Structures are given as structure tokens and as C-alpha cells.
Chains A and B, each alone.
Chain A
Amino acid sequence: MDNDVRPRRWTESIADGHGSGFDKKEIRPYVETTSQASQPSKWKGPTYYGRSQLKAAPFNNYVVGGYIFLAGLSGGGAIVSTLAEAVRGERAYGVGRRGRYVATLAPTIGALLLIWDLHTPQRFYNMWRIAKGTSPMSIGTWILTAFIPSSMLGAGAQVLADVLPGAGWLKPVARWGSAPSAITGAGLSVYTASLLAATSTPYWAAAPRSLAVRFGASSLVSGSASLVIGERDPATRDALNLILGGALAVELAATIAHHHEVKKKGVAEVLKTRWGRIERFGVEGLGILLPIGLHAASHLVSDRKGKAALSDLAAIFALAGSATLRVAALAVGEESARRPDISFRFSQPENLPG
């Protein structure tokens, strides 16, 4: 009998071969191996009747994903249209005007989607009970709250300027009123990624930074794409397309980085599921690479109408890709929480920070 009475941690008892119930061959690699490269891609140790230790978020992915898309669209639209007016002045009035309308989507439809997804929607106002830095949902509540006055003032003045004869004096009100929403719009564009990252759901928690860059870039993709459609001034249109292309390139780079990090943390298996494929081929392929390709193709077309049609098509795909990214990211995350081969692989000590 072992006379050593020192307390032993489970890691020690496995490492030195003690431990009755352990199959050394099966378990040792998970504890001892430090090199990431030799880690298996999923958990192969014991599970409790194939159950995950986690619970998946009780979100309706289309509703919450729809909100995240609209938040990004409104935030990104506010940023790009405000900058357009600030730099190009009167020539970008059309962009500014459409940007103010786009920015109303998150406070109106977006907020309704959020309330709809609550399981006790009649208590939505409790979101304003507190402000809490550890909860991105609370941070987001206050960002959205701060976004509302400026975006609604801008859009309200814009509606009056558009419909009332002789209300041209309201144009500066709309322009200056909506300007602060470019600042809050930045928060609105990215806090949703922080909301997902600050959970225990493996796919969301695996790589907070690259996920947030993906979401931020995708917000500017959708914002600029929504402004491209219908823009008549060719110079402004080219500038918007340039911004859209840049944001798509950043999103592509962040997507590659995100998937690489997710793989390093042992969560990549979830990308082989149905929603994982949608995330890879639908978002990366149809939502990013195809619009980039269409832009490249539009440079080869000399006919101005053809150019505009191609860039409109690119913008539509980019918008669809941005929306799909949000729904797919939610669905892939929930799948990663449901699967013990992924959830236990993710919660191994080598994934600890620091």
C-alpha cells in the first residue's frame, strides 16, 4: 500500500501512474503533452453518457443574429456616412441622408428583436436597472441607449427635410444631430462580439480578439455596402467601394486568423457541422470572396452601368454575408456547447490564459 500521505492532485496522480481507474495510455497525453501541435483535435477521454458539461444559449439565432446584423449595419452605416459628409461635405449629402435612415434600424427593428427574444419580454426595462462592466449585455444596453437620441434626431430631421417644403434649414440639424452616432456606432458594431466572447461557449470564447475584428469589419462591410447601393455620384461611389473592399479584406484576414486560433484551441471540429459549413463557405465564400471578386471584375468593365450593376451586386452579397455571419456564428457556438468532444477539449488546462 502506498504510504505517501501527501495530498495529490489528479494531475500528479495521473502523471506518475498512480490512480486505479485511469487508463494511462488513454489519458496521459491530455495532461502531460505541452506542445499544441500534438494535441488531438477533439476530446477522446471519458464523458458522462455523451453529455456536454455546458448548456447552449437559449437564444433564437435568427432573432438575435438579426439584431447583431442590424446593430452592425446601423453602427457601420453611421460611421461611414458621417465620415463621408465630414470629408466630402455637400457632395456626400446623399450618403449622409441614407446613412441616417440606415442608422434607425438598430434602435427600432433591432431593439424590438432584442425584446422579442427575452423570455419575459414585459420586463425589458430591467435592462436599465444597472450598468455593469463585466456584462457586455449591460454595456451594449447603454451603447444602444446612447445611440438612440442622436440617430433618431438625425433621421427625424432628415424625414422633415425630405417631405416638408422649405425645410432645407433642417439639413444641418440632421447632419450635426446624427454625427455623435458615429462614435456610439463603433461600440454598437463590436460589443456583440465581446458579448459572445465573454461566455463559456467554446466557439465564442476561443478567440475573443479575432472574433471582435471579424464582427467590427463585418459591420463596416454592411454599413458601406448599404450606402453603395443607390449612390449616383461616381467618385463617392468609388470611395465607398474602396472602403467596402478594405473592410472585406480585413474581415477575410480576421476570419482566417479566427479559424486558425479556434483550431489551436481544439474547437475546429465544430466547423465541420452544417452551420460550420455555412460559416465557412457561405460567409467566407459568398459573403467575402465573391464580393471581392465582383469588385475586381467591375474594374474590367468599361461600361458605367455595368460597373454600377456589378458593384451593387457585390454590395448585396456583402450584406447577405454579414447577416449570415451573425446567425451562423451563433449557431456554430451553440453546437460547440452541446458537443462534449468539443466542450471538454476546450476546457483542458493547456487552453488556460497566460
Chain B
Amino acid sequence: MTMVEFDVSPRARDYTQSTLKGLIPDESELTAGCLIEPGKSYGFFTDTTVCIGCKACEVACKEWNNLPADEVGLTGHSYDNTGALSSNTWRHVAFVEKKQADRAAAETGYGVRENEQAAFQSGWLMMSDVCKHCHHAPCMEACPTGALFKTEFDTVVVQQDICNGCGYCVPACPFGVVDVSTTDGKAHKCTLCYDRLKGGLEPACAKSCPTDSIQFGELSDLHARAKVRVEELHARGVTTAYTYGAPGDPGSTGDMQYLNAFFLLTDRPEAYNLPAAPTRPSNRVKPALAAGLMAVAALALGAVAAFAGAPRHGQ
């Protein structure tokens, strides 16, 4: 018999009893292998190749954040009855069933599975989507009240006591994450469990993930882990594996720099409902203002000429 070696923190031996008296200090060290300290960058690395679509992350998120259910019903879109991220849903598991190319499907009817597939999850993709906590967060840059801010953990959070529900963050987001709730009239999105981070706890979704598809940690660690994972997958023949949202990747385009929550994907970004090349909206503020003001200035000069040229006396 071979012993399986687990990478367990030695501190785990300090907590062997089933009922604890209180919080474990720096619990994240035991569950995620990292200490949570202000001033450092934290994020998620979501490895979609090991996602099994159990939706534990969706449930854990709803439970911890006290979020109500969205529509209860069936969408007919594989096992995805959540649909999309919303003000009440901050983790969303996407299910992609690969079908035959549209041309063939038009002849044979839709919903026909690919009958020639490469190995390894090429026919059924699952991805737990979440707020990307962008380095240059467009929602935060757009927010006119300062309700959206960068925390000491380099994550992006809406302050619920400040948001006045102007809704400008919603079209600003290149990923369709932020949403204004019709219940309370405030913008809501994933907080990367800001309250848990403050208490030294790993975010609820990452802690509940049974396959470690969602990994929480310091961003530089996660980038290194993702790189190793991509190389490992390539070596095993999954040449389509790539990261989305790490520096230089798709998703980090157009001055977005990088996303604190990034992904490992095996199909085009669009298949997972992600944009291939998002851009940083605030870069368009100055060009628009300058061009508009120049046009107005030119027309104002024209107006001066028109008034000056008009006869001063008589008809």
C-alpha cells in the first residue's frame, strides 16, 4: 500500500476536535495555504478543467452572503439553471455541451453531440464564473460616489451604505458582472468575501470547492500555479489549455492589465461567455471630452463670426 501524501499545514494538528470553541486564527493558512494580510494582492484562480459542476460554490456564496434565490425554474440550458451573474448571484457555474458545428446541426437538428472528440473534457465544459476583481476595475473607475473601492486585499467591493444606485457601473463592466438590485436599489457583486478575508478566512466559494477548481491565494502564487498547470496540461495533450486574465492573456487586453480572478480555459473565451479582448473604458473619457469640446469651440467661433457679420442697424 502506498500512502498518499497530502499537503497539510502542520497547524492542522492543533485542531483535532470536531467542535471548536471559536474561530481558528488565520484559518486560511489551513484551508488555502496562505496567510491573509492587508497590503497584499489576493484573487481566485479558477481551473475549469477540474470543475465538476457541483455548484457548491454557488450555494456557499449564497449562504455566506445571505443572498436570495434568483428565478427558480429550468432554463433548458444543460445543468445551468442560474443563467448569469446578477445582484443576487455572485458565483455562476456555466455548463457548455459541445455540439456539432452549426452547419451539420442545421441538417441533422440541433443538440447533436460531437461524435468525434479529443480526450479530456472536450465535449462538456464547466466553469464557475465570478467577478474578475480587475486590476483597473472599470466599475470602480466609473463609480461617481466612491461606493466602489479597492480594499486592502486588492479586491473591488461596493460599499452598500454609499451606493445610490445610479447604475453606471453596470454598463462599465466588460464582463456583465455588476448588477443593480431591484429589491434595494443598490449595486451588488462578489466582494471576494471581504468580511471573511478580514477575519482570516478563505472566501466561501473557494473553501467549499471539492476539486480545488477554485483556488484562493496571493495573486503571484496563483499566477505561478496556473503556469505550471497549463504546462502540465499541454504535456498531457490538452494543447488548447490557456489562462484568461493573467498578465498578457486574453481578458487582460486593452489596458486592463490583469484580472485578480483569472481562469484556465480550453475553448474560446466566447464559449464561456467571456469577451476575448475587453478594453479599459476610462481610456475613452479624454478623447471623447476633447473631441466634443473642440467641436463646440469651433461652432462657438462660428457663432461669433455669424453675430459679428450680421448688420448692426436697420433691416
Contact = CB atoms under 8 A, between A and B. Distances in A.
Interface residues of B, number: 106
B174 A137 contact: no
A9 B101 CA distance: 23
B238 to A, nearest CB: 8
B179 interface: yes
Contacts of A348: 276-277
A243 B302 contact: yes
A211 B118 contact: no
A35 to B, nearest CB: 17
Interface residues of A, number: 117
A209 interface: yes
Contacts of B165: 118-120, 123
A26 B179 contact: no
The secondary structure that dominates the B interface is: loop
A123 B281 contact: no
A263 B71 CA distance: 37
Contacts of A14: 268
Interface string A173-203: 0000000000000110111011101111100
Interface in B170-193: 170-182, 184-186
Interface in A313-354: 333-334, 337, 340, 343-344, 347-349, 351-353
A220 B299 contact: yes
A10 B240 contact: yes
Given A79-B296, A348-B277, A126 B145 contact: yes
B240 A19 contact: yes
Given A2-B237, A58-B167, 5 more contacts: A123-B162, A186-B300, A201-B171, A208-B288, A236-B307
17 contacts: A9-B250, A20-B119, A46-B267, A52-B176, A139-B285, A186-B293, A191-B292, A193-B292, A198-B288, A200-B138, A200-B279, A204-B171, A213-B292, A240-B306, A334-B171, A352-B253, A352-B279
Interface of A: 1-11, 13-14, 18-23, 25-27, 43, 45-49, 51-59, 79-80, 83-84, 86-88, 91-92, 117-121, 123-124, 126-127, 129-130, 132-139, 141, 186-187, 189-191, 193-195, 197-201, 204-205, 208-213, 215-217, 219-220, 224, 234-236, 238-240, 242-243, 246-247, 250, 254, 333-334, 337, 340, 343-344, 347-349, 351-353
